[in-house]
Amino acid sequence: MEWKDEGIILHTHALGENKSILSLFTPTQGRWMGVVRTSAKTKPWLQCGAKVDARWHARLEAQMGSWTLEPLSSYTTPILDAPGPLMAFLSAAALCHKALPERHAYSRLYEHFENFCKALPSLHWMQAYLLFELTLLEELGYGLDLQQCAVTGVTKDLVAVSPKTGRAVCAEVAKPYEGRLLPLPSFLRTDNPPSPQEVREALILTGFFLEHHLLGRTLPAPRLRLSDTF
C-alpha cells in the first residue's frame, strides 16, 4: 500500500534517536500518521509548519506505515520573530492534530488551513485564523449559524450566540438572557478589521464550541496561550 501527496506537518514525536512519529495534514488523504527516519540533515526541516512532498507506504493499509519526505517550504520560518502569528499557527496545527479523525479527507478545510498559513506574515493573520476555526467547526459538524436570528429571522443587530444551538440572536431576543449567551463580534459577519476586544470575543465564541462540542476536553495548550495574549 502506498500513496503520494503534499502536506503540512502538524506534529512530531520522537521515537528513539533516529525515528519520529509524524502527523501530516494532506489535501487528499486528510490527517495521516507514519514513522519517518531522521538524521542530522533532516531534523532541521522535519518540524511543525514544514510543507513537504510525501510518500506513505506500508505492507498493509491498517499499519501505521512509513514516510518518505522531501521539503518544499516552511510556513513557520518567516514568522519565527513574530510571536502572535507563530502562536496562531501552533494553535491551528494542534487543533487539527487533536480534532481531525485520521485518514479522512477534508479538502476544503485543508484549503482554508493553507490560506491561513499564507496569511501569517500579513496584517490579517488573526482574521484568517478565526476563519480557520469556524471552518474547522463547520467541517466536523458543529458549524455556527451567524447569518440570522434564530428566533425572529432578522439579519441585523445580531449580538450573541446560543451556547446550546450555535445560532445567532438579535439584541431584542438576547436582552433577557444577558450573561448566558456568547458574544458575537460584528466583524465575523463583515469585512471590517476587528478591534482587540472583538478578537477576544471571537476567541471566546469559537473556543467554547471547540472545547465543549468538538474536542470534549480542555483546549490544546497553544490555543490557551493564544487566548491569553488577547
Supply the range of the domain harboring residue 65. 2-74
119 and 49 co-located in one domain: no
> pTM value?
0.94
Rounded to a whole number, what is the distance in angstroms from the first to the last CA of the chain?
46
Query: Please, what sign has the CA dihedral across residues 169, 171, 177, 180?
Result: positive
Q: What is the CATH classification number for the domain harbouring 208?
A: 1.20.1440
Number of structural domains the chain divides into: 2
Last residue of a domain, one of 74, 109, 124: 74
Q: What is the pLDDT of residues 202-227, one digit of tens each?
A: 999 999 999 999 998 899 999 999 99
Last residue of a domain, one of 34, 55, 74: 74
Q: How far apart are CA 66 and CA 59, in angstroms?
A: 10
The answer to whether 47 and 9 are in contact (CB under 8 A) is yes
Task: Report the pLDDT value the prediction gives residue 198, as an integer from 0 to 100.
Answer: 94
Query: By CB neighbour count within 10 A (0-12 exposed, 13-18 middle, 19+ buried), where does 164 fall?
Result: exposed
List pLDDT tens digits, range 30-57. Answer: 999 999 999 999 999 999 999 999 999 9
Spell out the alpha helix ranges (H) of 11-124. 83-99, 107-119
Is 93 found in the same domain as 7?
Answer: no
Distances in Å between the Cα of 230 and the Cα atoms of 12, 44, 45, 195, 200 are: 28, 31, 30, 11, 6
Task: Describe the chain by its helix, strand, coil percentages, rounded to 5.
Answer: 40, 25, 35
Q: Does residue 142 belong to any structural domain of this protein?
A: yes
Provide the pLDDT for residue 90. 98
Q: Indicate if 9 and 46 belong to the same structural domain.
A: yes
Question: From the first residue on, what is the mean pLDDT of each consecutive set of 10 residues in the chain (230 residues)?
Answer: 97 93 98 96 94 96 94 96 97 98 97 97 95 97 95 95 96 92 92 89 97 94 94
Instruction: Classify residue 122: in a domain, yes or no.
Output: yes
65 shares its domain with 86: no
Give the Cβ contact number of residue 191 at 10 Å: 6
Q: Kindly state whether residue 155 falls inside one of the protein's structural domains.
A: no
Same domain for 14 and 66, yes or no, is yes
Domain's final residue, options 25, 53, 74? 74
